[in-house]
Structure 1
Amino acid sequence: MDTLPTIVMLLGASVVSVIAFRSLNLPPVLGYLLVGAIIGPHAADLVGGLTGAQHLAEFGVVFLMFSIGLEFSLPKLYAMKRIVFGLGLLQVVLTLAVVTAIVTTLGMSWQEGVALGGALAMSSTAVLTKLLTERLELDKAHGREVMGVLLFQDIAVVPLLILIPSFSETPERMATMMGLAMLKAVLVLSVVLFFGQRLMSRWFFIVARGKSAELFMLNVLLITLGLAYLTEVAGLSLALGAFVAGILISETQYRHHVEEDIKPFRDVLMGLFFVTIGMMLDVSLVIANAPLVLGVLGALLIVKFALVLGLSRLFGSTFGGAMRTGLWLCAGGEFGFVLLAEMRHLKLVPSAVLQAVLAALVLSMLLAPLIVQYSNQIVLRFAASEWLMRSMQMTQLAAKTMNTEQHVVICGYGRTGQYLARFMEQENVGYLALDLDPERIREATAAGENVIYGDAVRRETLAAAGVARASVLIISFAEARTSERVLEHVREINPALPVVVRTLDEKDLDALLHAGAAEVVPETLETSMVLASHALRHLGVPHAQVLEHFRQTRIGHYRTLRGFFHGESDAEEDTLDAEEARLHSILLTDGAHAVGRTLGELALDKHVVEVTAVRRRNVRTLEPAADTHLGAGDVVVLLGTPSALAAAEERILRG
C-alpha cells in the first residue's frame, strides 16, 4: 500500500482515538491500541497490513528511547541508588525468573520465558508518572519507590533489546551473538560517551549561537537519528543509539529546551507505534483463547503485586506502603509492547501466546488507573496497620490544634509556605502547616517549626487541622486542580473560612474564585506590581498613591492587568497554554462589519471575549462603554482564548 494513504489513515485514527479517550479521562495510549485493533489486518484491514505502518512506528520507539536517555541522570541515579538498583533490579530479575519458570513448566523454551518475562516485568512510566503527579504522591514513600522501579525498568529495556534478538539463533550461535553484541555495545558506548560528552556541549553552543529555532530542531533530529543509524550499522538496535543520544544531551545545559522541542515528534510517532501494536492484536484469536488471556492477566497482576509487595517489605516499607507500591506497579507498560514487537518480528513466540500476552497487557493498562484510584481503599481494607497509622496521624494532628482557635492553616510547606510561616511568626499569629515531605518535616520540626505530616487534599486531615476553628487557610502550592479539591472540602467543613490561594498566572483565577477562594494571588501579576512599585517610587510617585492603585487592582481581581500579547518567543519556549486568554489587536478598515456600529451591537460577549481598549487617532480608551461607536482606522483590543478571538474577529470584520 502507498505510504501517504497509510499515514493519512493512521493520523486520522489517532486523532479520533485521542479525542475519545481524553474525554473519558483515560490514557490516549489505550485509544491508539484500540483503533489499531479495529483498522488492523485482523479486523477491517484499512491500511493493507503492518509493513508500511511499522516503518513509521520504529521512529516512535527511537524518540521514546531518546526521551528516556534525556531523563537519565547520574546524580539522580546515585540519589535513588538503593531503590533503583535494589528494589528495581530485584523486581525485574525476579519477574523474569518467575515467568521463565512458569513458561518452561508449560513446555516452552527458557529463551521464550526470558523474552516474555521482560515484556511482563515492565510497568507504564507514562501512565503512572502522570497519576503520581496529579495525585501529589511523588514525595510519598510509595511514590519514590514507584519512580525508582520505573527508572530501572526503563534502563533494563536497553540490554533486553540487545539480548532478545540472539534468542532466535542456535545455542552456539546465540552465545556468540550475545557476546559480540555486548562487546559492540560496550565499545560503541565507551567511544560515544567518552568523546561525545566533550563535543556535545561545544557543538550545541555553536548551533544555539545561530539563534534559529528550526536550526536547533534540525540539529536535535540529526543527533538522534544519526546516532541511531550508527548503532544499527554496528549491528545493534536503533533504540540503543537514540538512548545514547539522550544521555549525551542530558549532560548539557540545553537538555530542557531539547526535551520540549522533541516532545511533539515523540508523542505523534509513539502514537503511531501504539496503533501498529494494536494492529497486531487478532481479536478473534483473543476471544477464542479468552481463558488463556484472562489467565495471563490474572497471573500478571497477582505475581507482580506479590513480588513488589514482598520486595518493598524487604526494603523496609510498612505493609500498607508495600501494598500501595505493589498495586501501582502490578499492571503492564508501554515498553512491554516494544519488546513484544521485537519478538513478533523474530517469530520467537507462538502466535497464540503472543496474542494472549499482548491482550493481557492492554487489559492491564486499562485497569491500571482504576487500581490506582481504589488503592487507598484496598490498602485500608487489608492492612490493619494503615488504620492505626492513619488514626495516629489524625490524633497527633488534632492534638496539636485541640486548644487552638483563630489560627492559620498553611497547606504546603515548601519555600513559599515557609516564608508565609515566618511572616505569621513575626506577627505573633498562630499557624499550623501541612506537608507530605518526611525529610522536610523532620528538619523543620527539629528546628521548632509548627509543621506536621498531612495531606491537605483529604477532608479528614483538614478537619483534624482545625479548619472549623481557623481564621484563614492559605494554599501555598500552585496546583490549580488540587487547590479546587481543597476548596471543596473547606466549603463543607467551614463555608465562612476565607481561603487565600496561590496560582502561577491569571489562567485559573476565575475558576478558583468560583470554587470559593476569597483571594487568588497570581505570581506573574504580583511580580509585575512589585516591580512597578519600585520603579514608580524612583520616579517620585507618592507611595500612598501607588498602594491605592494596587489595592484597586486587587479588588478588581487584576482585571486591568489580565492577558498579554502573544509573540514568537512564547511559542518557542512553550510557556503559553493553548487555551490561555491573550490580547489581540484588530484594525478596522473601510468595509469592516463593525464600522458604524457600537460595541453593544456587536455582542462580542457571546463569544466570551472582552473589549479591553479602543485606540483612535493615538488616543486609547480603556474598558470602553457598550455605546462606543467604531469607525474606520480604529484599533479594537480584545481579550480571550485563541478560539474565542478567532470567532470574535470574524464577527468584527465580516459580520
Structure 2
Amino acid sequence: MQEDFRLILDLVTLLAAASVGGLLASALRQPALLGYLLGGTIVGPAGLGWIKELIQVETLAQFGVALLLFTLGVEFSLGELKKVKAIALGGGTLQIVLTIAVTSSVALMMGWLTSPVQGIFLGAILSLSSTAVVIKSLMERNEMETPHGQVMLGILVVQDLALGLMLAVLPALNEPAEAISISVASALLRIGLFAIAAIGFGTYIVPRLLRMLAKTESQELFLLGVVTLCLGIALVTYYLGFSIEMGAFVAGLMISEVEYADQTLTYVEPLRDLLAALFFVSVGMLIDPVFLWNHLEVILGLVCLVLIGKFLIVAPIVRLFGYSLRTALIAGFGLGQIGEFSFVLTAQGQALGLVSRQVYLLILGTTALTLVLTPFLLKLMPQVLNWAETIPGLTGFFDRTAMPLGMSEERPLENHVVVCGYGRIGKKVVQLLQSHNYPVVAIDSTERAIQQLRGAGIPYIYGNAASLHVLQAAGIDRASAMAIAVHDPMSTRLCLKRALELSPDLDVVVETDLEKDIEMLYQLGAWEVVQSEFEVSLEVATHLLMGVGFPLSGIRREIEQIRQHHYLDLRPERSASDVARELQSATQDLNGKWYDLPERSPLIGMTIEQTDLRRLTGVSLLAIRRRDGEELDYPDSQVNFEVGDKLLLVGEPEEFATVEDLAKGEIAVPREHRSCQWLTVPDRSLNRGKTLSELDLRRQYAVQVQAIRREAHFIRFPHGDTAIEGGDRLLLCGARTSLQRVRDAIALAEEGVSTPVSVAIGSGRDRP
C-alpha cells in the first residue's frame, strides 16, 4: 500500500475511533476525553493493530496540542496570567523542586533505583502534569475562571516552561557538575532571550500582521495566517530546545492583547477541537492493555503513590500561597497525574540509558491510567467536598479555612450593596454605585483585585464569596442588596444560597455566562438573573428597532417582558430529558436529594408559594416528579403538591430534616398575613441566656422563632430549651405589629442602659 494512502487510512481510522469512543462516553455521561483514549487503545498497536504510521499520526497530534495551548493563550491573556503569577512562579517552581527531591529520596531509600541521577530523572517525569487533559476537563465543566482553574493553569504554564530546561539538562545528567551548570545556564539564557523577543514581537509585529489579515475580509486567509503564526513561533521554541506547546501558548498570549482575539478564537476553535481529539486518541494508542493486566498490581500501586504523593505536595503549596482549603484540595488532585510531555522525557531517558525497557513501560502504563482518572477526579472532588462540609466533625475545620483573609478597616455597616467578584462586570457595578454615592462592599478572592480595591479606597473583603464567614464579615444581613458576578458556576450557586440563609429577603442580582443556569438561579432565590449574551442582544435590538422607527416605549415594554420571562424567547428549545440531565448534574454539586412526600402530608394541596419552603427550611425545590412519571423541572410558585410527589431538594442535612418535620405535620406552616423577619440579639442584652420557653414569645405575642443563626451554625425550628446568646440572629414569624413588639421586648435595655436598644432587623419585603 502506498505510504501517503496508508497515512490517510490511519487518519480516517483514528477519527472514526474518536467519534465512536466519544459517542460511547457521551451515552455513559462521561467526558468525551475518555472515549478518545479508549478509541486509541482499541485501534492502536497494542489493540487491533490497525494503525501503522505512528510517527506521522503523532506529528499531527502534536499540532492538536499546539492549537489547544494556542487558543488557551488567546483566552487567558497576560492580564489573567498576572492574577496567579505568585502561585505560578513561586508555587510551580517549588512543586517541581519538591517532587524531584521527594521522588529521588524515596526511590533511593526503597532501593528502587541505583543512582541519584536516576532519581532526579524519575522526579522530573513525575513533576509534570497534563496540560492538555486538565485544560480539556476544566473547559468541559466551564471552570477555567474558577480559583482552582486559575491556580492549576498557572502551575501548568511553569511546568511547560520547565520541560525545556529538563530536556536541555537531561543529556548532561551523567556528566560532571560543571556540565550540568553550563546546560542550566544556557537554557535560562535562551528562555530570557525568547521572552524579550516575544514581548517585542507581540507588541509591534503581531497587531500589524492581524490588521493586515483582517483587511482582506477573507476567513481563509485570516485562519491561514493565524495558524502559520502559531506554528511558526512553536517551531522557534522547538529549535531553542523547548516544547512546541510552550511556543503555541506564547503565540496565543500575544494575540490575546489585540482586538482580533475573539475573531481568532472563532476561526481556530473548530480546527483545534479536531486535532486535539486526534492527540488524545494518539495517547490512547500508547496504552498496552495486556501489559497493564500482567502488571496490574504494580501499576495500580504506582498510580496510588503518584496521585497521593503529588497531592501531598501540591495541596500544601496552594494553601501556603493563601488559597482556600477547597481550592487547594481540588488543585492537589487535579494536578496529581503524570503529564503527556513525560512521554518525551521518558523516551529520551531510555535512549540515554537512564531507564530500562521494563521501567519505561511501567511509566507509560502509570501515566496512561493517571490521565484516564483525572477527568473523574476533577468531576468528583467538588461533590466530595460538598459532602465533607456537611459532616459534623469536619464542618468546623472547613469553616476555619474559609475565614476572610483580610478586609478594609472602614466598611459600611448597613443599607449597603455587596458586590461579589471584582472582575470585568463587578468593577463596572461598583463604579456605577459609587458614582451615585451608594455605600458598597466588594468581595474577591484574588490578590490582584484586592490591590486594586485598596488603591481605589473601596471597602473590601478578601476571601471566598461562597463562605458564610466572608458573607457575615460583609454584613450581608444588614445589606440592602447584593450582586454576584463570579465566573465559577458552583461558587455562584453556593454564594446565592448561603447569602439567602443569612438574609432570606435580600435583593440578589446574579450575572451568569451559562444560559442553562438561569432557571436554577431563580429557583435558588435570585431576584434577577442577567445573562451577558442575551443582554447584549437586547441592547443591539433596541438600537436597531429605534433606528427603523419603532417607539421607544413599546421596545422597552417588550424587552421587559423578555426579561420577566427569563429570556425564554431567546433561548433555544431544549428537550425535557436534556433539562433533567442538566438539573441532576447541577444538584450533585449542591448536595441535592429526592424526597418522597408522605401521602397524608399537610402540604398536599398547597402551592409552593403557600408552603414557603425556602424561608421556612432553607432548602430550594428544583423539581417535582409526579406519581405518573411526569417531571416538573423548575416548577412555578403556583404549582400544587399532590399525593405521590417526589421532590428534588437542595440543602444541608439539617435542612432536609426540617423539611421532613414540615411534611409530616410536626411543624405548622405559618398562616397567611404573617411576615418573617430577622432580629439580632445585642451582645449585652439582658435577655441573653434565657431559653425560648422562658421568653414565651408564642403565647405572649403569637410570634414563632423559626430559626437561629449562631456564627456558622443554622438552627431550624429550635426547641424551647434552646438558650439565646448575644449576637444570635432570630428568624421571627408573625403579624407585623407583633414583630415590632417582640423586637422591643428582646432588645430591652442592655446592661447599664435604660431605654430600648435598636437592633438590626430584616426588611420583611415580600417577593414579587
Query: Could you state the TM-score of these two structures normalised by the residue count of structure 1?
Result: 0.64
TM-superposed CA distance for 1:45, in Å, is: 1.5
> How far apart, in 1, do the equivalents of 2:399 and 2:145 lie?
23
On the 8 A contact 1:83/1:148 being kept in 2, the answer is: yes
What is aligned with 2:368?
A: 362
1:44 aligns with 2:44: no
1:374 aligns with 2:375: no
On the 8 A contact 1:7/1:53 being kept in 2, the answer is: yes
Worse-superposed segment, 110-119 or 523-532: 523-532
2:39 to 31, 35, 39: 35
1:85 aligns with 2:89: yes
> How far apart, in 1, do the equivalents of 2:559 and 2:509 lie?
17
2:355 to 334, 349, 353: 349
On the 8 A contact 1:70/1:259 being kept in 2, the answer is: yes
Worse-superposed segment, 236-245 or 274-283: 236-245
Worse-superposed segment, 330-339 or 11-20: 330-339
Q: Percent identity?
A: 33
Judging changes above 3 Å, is the alpha-carbon distance between structure 1 residues 488 and 16 closer, same or farther for their aligned structure 2 residues?
A: farther
On the 8 A contact 1:434/1:452 being kept in 2, the answer is: yes
TM-superposed CA distance for 1:304, in Å, is: 1.9
- 1:102-181 matches, within 5 Å, as 102-104=106-108, 105-126=111-132, 128=134, 134=141, 140=147, 145-164=151-170, 166=171, 178=183
What is aligned with 2:275?
A: 269
What is aligned with 2:305?
A: 299
> How far apart, in 1, do the equivalents of 2:491 and 2:319 lie?
30
What is aligned with 1:610?
A: none
> How far apart, in 2, do the equivalents of 1:498 and 1:374 lie?
31
> How far apart, in 2, do the equivalents of 1:265 and 1:246 lie?
15
Provide, for residues 493-530 of structure 1, a one-character-per-residue CA deviation record: whole Å limited to 9, x for no partner. Answer: 99999875545697776776688766554455555656
TM-superposed CA distance for 1:82, in Å, is: 3.2
Provide, for residues 202-250 of structure 1, a one-character-per-residue CA deviation record: whole Å limited to 9, x for no partner. Answer: 3333323212111111122333444555666788765566566556656
On the 8 A contact 2:99/2:313 being kept in 1, the answer is: yes
1:386 aligns with 2:397: yes
- 1:632-643 matches, within 5 Å, as none
> How far apart, in 2, do the equivalents of 1:428 and 1:222 lie?
51
TM-superposed CA distance for 1:3, in Å, is: 1.0
> How far apart, in 2, do the equivalents of 1:29 and 1:256 lie?
25
Query: AA paired with 1:31?
Result: G
Query: AA paired with 1:374?
Result: V
TM-superposed CA distance for 1:347, in Å, is: 7.3
On the 8 A contact 1:231/1:241 being kept in 2, the answer is: yes
TM-superposed CA distance for 1:470, in Å, is: 10
1:15 aligns with 2:27: no
Query: AA paired with 2:400?
Result: M
What is aligned with 1:216?
A: 222
What is aligned with 1:588?
A: none
Judging changes above 3 Å, is the alpha-carbon distance between structure 1 residues 245 and 502 closer, same or farther for their aligned structure 2 residues?
A: closer
Worse-superposed segment, 114-123 or 506-515: 506-515
Provide, for residues 334-380 of structure 1, a one-character-per-residue CA deviation record: whole Å limited to 9, x for no partner. Answer: 43345445556777532322232233233334153234543566689
Query: AA paired with 2:369?
Result: L
TM-superposed CA distance for 1:13, in Å, is: 1.0
RMSD across aligned positions (CA): 5.6
Aligned residues: 554
On the 8 A contact 1:525/1:561 being kept in 2, the answer is: yes
> How far apart, in 1, do the equivalents of 2:269 and 2:544 lie?
40
What is aligned with 1:577?
A: none
Query: AA paired with 1:389?
Result: R
Judging changes above 3 Å, is the alpha-carbon distance between structure 1 residues 330 and 89 closer, same or farther for their aligned structure 2 residues?
A: same
Judging changes above 3 Å, is the alpha-carbon distance between structure 1 residues 480 and 347 closer, same or farther for their aligned structure 2 residues?
A: same
- Secondary structure of the equivalent of 1:41? coil
1:287 aligns with 2:293: yes
Query: Could you state the TM-score of these two structures normalised by the residue count of structure 2?
Result: 0.56
Worse-superposed segment, 11-20 or 316-325: 316-325
What is aligned with 1:203?
A: 209
> How far apart, in 2, do the equivalents of 1:240 and 1:413 lie?
30
> How far apart, in 2, do the equivalents of 1:231 and 1:244 lie?
10
On the 8 A contact 1:328/1:372 being kept in 2, the answer is: no
Q: Gaps spanning 5+ residues in structure 2: where?
A: 573-768
What is aligned with 2:99?
A: 95
- Secondary structure of the equivalent of 2:113? coil
> How far apart, in 1, do the equivalents of 2:316 and 2:133 lie?
23
TM-superposed CA distance for 1:298, in Å, is: 2.5
Q: Gaps spanning 5+ residues in structure 1: where?
A: 564-655
What is aligned with 1:57?
A: 61
- Secondary structure of the equivalent of 1:374? helix
- 1:311-330 matches, within 5 Å, as 311-312=317-318, 315=321, 325-330=331-336
Query: AA paired with 1:291?
Result: E
> How far apart, in 2, do the equivalents of 1:432 and 1:78 lie?
24
- Secondary structure of the equivalent of 2:48? coil
> How far apart, in 1, do the equivalents of 2:232 and 2:435 lie?
59
> How far apart, in 2, do the equivalents of 1:271 and 1:495 lie?
47
- Secondary structure of the equivalent of 2:49? coil
Higher RCO (CA-CA < 8 Å; seq separation 6+) = 1
TM-superposed CA distance for 1:59, in Å, is: 2.9
Judging changes above 3 Å, is the alpha-carbon distance between structure 1 residues 537 and 422 closer, same or farther for their aligned structure 2 residues?
A: same
On the 8 A contact 2:10/2:53 being kept in 1, the answer is: no
Judging changes above 3 Å, is the alpha-carbon distance between structure 1 residues 539 and 149 closer, same or farther for their aligned structure 2 residues?
A: closer
Provide, for residues 61-85 of structure 1, a one-character-per-residue CA deviation record: whole Å limited to 9, x for no partner. Answer: 4445655766897666666443223
On the 8 A contact 1:167/1:348 being kept in 2, the answer is: no
TM-superposed CA distance for 1:153, in Å, is: 1.3
> How far apart, in 2, do the equivalents of 1:261 and 1:374 lie?
38
TM-superposed CA distance for 1:546, in Å, is: 5.6
Judging changes above 3 Å, is the alpha-carbon distance between structure 1 residues 507 and 35 closer, same or farther for their aligned structure 2 residues?
A: closer
Judging changes above 3 Å, is the alpha-carbon distance between structure 1 residues 452 and 92 closer, same or farther for their aligned structure 2 residues?
A: closer
